[in-house]
Chains A and B, each alone.
Chain A
Amino acid sequence: MNAIELTNVSKIYRRYGGRQFATLKSALLQRSILRDLRASETFPALTDVSFSVPKGSTYGVIGRNGSGKSTALKLVAGITKPTTGQVRVTGRISALIELGAGFHPEISGRENVFINGIMLGLTKREIEERFDEIVDFAELTEFIDAPVKTYSSGMYMRLGFAVAIHVNPDVLLVDEVLAVGDEGFTHKCLDKFAEFRRRGKTILLVTHSLSMVERFCDEALWLDGGRAQGHGDPRRVVDAYLSAVEKSEDVLLATTTAKAVAAVSVAPVENPPPAPAAPETAQPEGELRDMFKAVEGRWGSREIEIAEVVLLDRDQQPSFVFHSGDPMSIRLRVVAHTAATDFVFGVSLFNIDGVCCYGTNTFIEQMDPERLEGEVAVTFAIESLDLVEGTYKLDVAVHTCDGYPYDYHRLLYTFRVKSRTPDAGIYRPRHHWTFSGPVTFRAADAAKKETKEQD
């Protein structure tokens, strides 16, 4: 039995282009009132989304900003109607979409609890019964008779949350509202959710907190651009979502890098090479370039030229996003326009603050140059990229043993390291913890299982 069912739901928002300055008079004069009430432009917020939430389960909706999550929630709440498709909800709904919507600032918290409760569908008697519980939950016993306008925003939110959660709905809709209080209050809210789950209530949760989806939800839906990109097991959906986020970061970094390279490669130094470096030079220069302008650069005689730099992931595929601990290879395509006997290849990694994380070259590593001519590929392979999460930049260079630069690329290449552990610093040494004596930790999976058993 499903508590919530959306079948092929689309929601098209209308944009009233130019309507802002239209007046009733002009509408009447031009007899365009009905036409004006129709949209001139439309925006599909949701396109053909179907999902169903079984009764008693917790369902998470994730997706980046503007992906249609809140629209989906409003449709389920019945606040807006779908343009096409069907929304079916069984049972009493309470929506934690905007807390304390409808509180009147001039009247007391007590009176507002009653009015808000009635708005959310409680009867006066039900509120009377729950009143003390609500006030206790909101931790506002002292201030309940003060006008709501004197409340801090935290107090306001807590009261709104307390009322909404005591409506005792069959279906609870939650939109990103858990950031309402201090740590203690958040815990209390989570406990309340757990209690809801135990009592077999259905929860639809819209959030950016992926860990919460993994911890709480039985199923998850990933929306992107108003379309369902996947649903099912929360862990799998979250992973898919994360890798898509990486992919789009990857694209962004690729263009950033291309721009950076293009920017410094247009002005040829003496002895101009026939082919400039970056393949994507057609990218228009934008603000992203300015971000790196101060430090980046390329110089050198280019008798030996680094024609291309590619970062390769574990599968030897070009990438700009890596996971901490993954292998990474830096592959240079080097073109020697004249045969050389004095050459050094160098690589260094910088973090976004400009701190050099690691730097080396073939000279330091006592590789004695003998001969270089034509086009060669140079690969610098890192077996395990033990860096913490962050954005890093790359220097690559080819120069003579005493430092005369053939081609020096300074901070032109950007890549990102992802990690699911939010540890601090720059370098993550390979490590493990051991404990002696009675110290135990609960595994993440076990913790989840436990809350489910309480259901």
Chain B
Amino acid sequence: MFANLAQLIRYRGLIQSLVARELKARYRGSVLGFLWSFINPLLLLSIYSFVFAVILPDTHSAAVEPYALFMFCGILPWTWFTSALSESAGSLISGGNLIKKVLFPAEILPLVNVLANMFHFFLGLPILAVFLIYYQRWPDPWDIVWFPLTILVQLIFTSALALGFSALTVHFRDLRDVLSNVLTLWFFSTPIIYWIKEAPGLGKQVLDLNPMTHIIVSYQEILFFRGPIGHWRWLLATGVFSIALFLACYWLFDRLRDSFAEAV
């Protein structure tokens, strides 16, 4: 298992070019091309802003004003998470030709989906920066140090689930449909469009069990809320959990690896 994991480093060139291909191919043939990476989060944000600022204006406390910025801090990483998972779940099946006909470490396929979506996340960051400047929210310099770490934790957590889901989806195709509904539920179980402090007592405990809560709250504390990050213990715990989960999912993936070429 660890030998296979180490082998991934040898294939970094391939991962790199597959991610580049994924990014190029996605917008090939569309008029706006790469601009969609900027437009998509903007459109999503304007929809939520419209709903929560115009239709339901009094649903949030004053602490999370400007509300659009608050939501944006959560929606951007959430989009990465959710698209990475839904794309990677089917990646082994759609890449079946490669697994069956080319000697090829299969885990590259889900990881490429995760990384390509991370790249889209990065493209959304300048927009976030523009908003931060517009609202004159200057993140604490010390907080900024935590920002890459949060991304890293999210990367490990997302990769873990991508590996696990992609491997199981080969054998249980219905997981893809299950997953899309789970992700919707998950979205509302994560404090993205509401503030975690507003959650009632029991709700807060339930939210604490959700690793994405701590990742998203960390983003919010770093980027949105003034003052030092108060959530770093949770973030580190989530990081440790993510590494354990990654190893477990990789072990599962490794166990099922030999069945892929026959089952896809």
Contact = CB atoms under 8 A, between A and B. Distances in A.
Q: Please say whether chains A and B are actual partners in one complex.
A: yes
B98 A123 contact: no
A107 B13 contact: no
Given A24-B178, A115-B17, A118-B13, A97 B28 contact: no
Contacts of A115: 14, 17-18, 21
A23 B172 contact: yes
B97 A102 contact: yes
A13 B97 CA distance: 18
B233 interface: no
6 contacts: A79-B99, A79-B101, A97-B101, A107-B25, A115-B14, A120-B102
A293 interface: no
Interface string B15-30: 0011001001100110
A148 to B, nearest CB: 10
B165 to A, nearest CB: 11
Interface in B195-246: none
Given A14-B262, A19-B171, A37-B256, 4 more contacts: A102-B104, A106-B28, A115-B14, A119-B98
Interface string B238-264: 000000000000000000101101110
A322 interface: no
A81 B21 contact: no
Main secondary structure of the interface of A (DSSP, over half): mixed
Contacts of B256: 37
B103 interface: yes
B174 A24 contact: yes
Contacts of A284: none
Nearest to B15: A118
B102 A101 contact: yes
Interface residues of A, number: 35
A173 B17 CA distance: 25
Contacts, number: 81
B21 A118 contact: no
Please provide the 3 A-B residue pairs with the shortest distance between their CB atoms, ordered closest to farther: A98-B101, A24-B172, A101-B101
Interface string A99-133: 00110101100010011001110011000000000
Contacts of A124: 13, 17
Interface string B90-114: 0000010111111110000000000
Nearest to A93: B103
Contact of B14 (A23, A95, A119): A119
A119 B25 CA distance: 17
A81 B256 CA distance: 13
A78 interface: yes
Contacts of A95: 101-103
A20 to B, nearest CB: 9
A97 B262 CA distance: 16
Contact of B104 (A106, A119, A123, A147): A119
B258 A80 contact: yes
Given A24-B178, A118-B14, A78 B28 contact: no
B115 to A, nearest CB: 15
Nearest to B168: A24
Contacts of A107: 21, 24-25, 28
A118 to B, nearest CB: 5
A24 B182 CA distance: 14
A27 interface: yes
Contacts of B261: 74, 79-80
A306 interface: no
A104 B21 CA distance: 8
A234 to B, nearest CB: 27
Nearest to B174: A23
Contacts of A119: 14, 98, 102, 104
A78 B103 contact: yes
Contacts of B259: 14, 37
Contacts of A78: 103
B82 to A, nearest CB: 20
Contacts of B258: 80-81
A77 interface: yes
Interface string A66-88: 00000000100111110000000
A299 to B, nearest CB: 56
B103 A98 contact: no
Nearest to A77: B103
